[in-house]
Amino acid sequence: MVKIQAVTRSSSGIQPHKTESICTFQTVSGVDGEVLLHIATYGSAERAMPGKASQQIQFTESGARDMLAAIYAAFPTLKRTAP
């Protein structure tokens, strides 16, 4: 698990993944009451332990702000509802 404080653009040659899965989220309180967005992804149905979280990341507010900017850049037709 890792806490994301910043998100920056990469230029590596990533290809689309062939498997699909689900993702869950919740908020948790960090040190000194800091709110963190906790995201967990789960393995595919073919995984040895289906239903077990594969990756878990937590976003700080600044990391979430960066991720929102990345999402809006990738999907410009999404409606912006946050300032």
Per-residue pLDDT, averaged over 27-51, amounts to 85
Residue 29 pLDDT greater than 60, yes or no:
yes
Mean pLDDT of the chain: 87
Q: What is the reported pTM? A: 0.79
Q: What is the pLDDT of residues 47-78, one digit of tens each?
A: 777 667 888 999 999 999 999 999 999 998 88
Is residue 13 in a domain?
A: no
Is residue 7 in a domain?
A: no
Residue 35 pLDDT greater than 80, yes or no:
yes
Is residue 2 in a domain?
A: no
Is residue 69 in a domain?
A: yes
Q: What is the dihedral of CA 79, 9, 38, 82, to 10 degrees?
A: -30
Q: How many domains, the chain?
A: 1
- Domain region containing 40: 24-76
Q: At 28, phi and psi to the nearest 5?
A: -135, 155
Per-position DSSP letters for 15-50, written without gaps between them: ---S----EEEEEEE-GGG-EEEEEEEE--TTSSST
Is residue 62 in a domain?
A: yes
Per-residue pLDDT, averaged over 22-31, amounts to 92
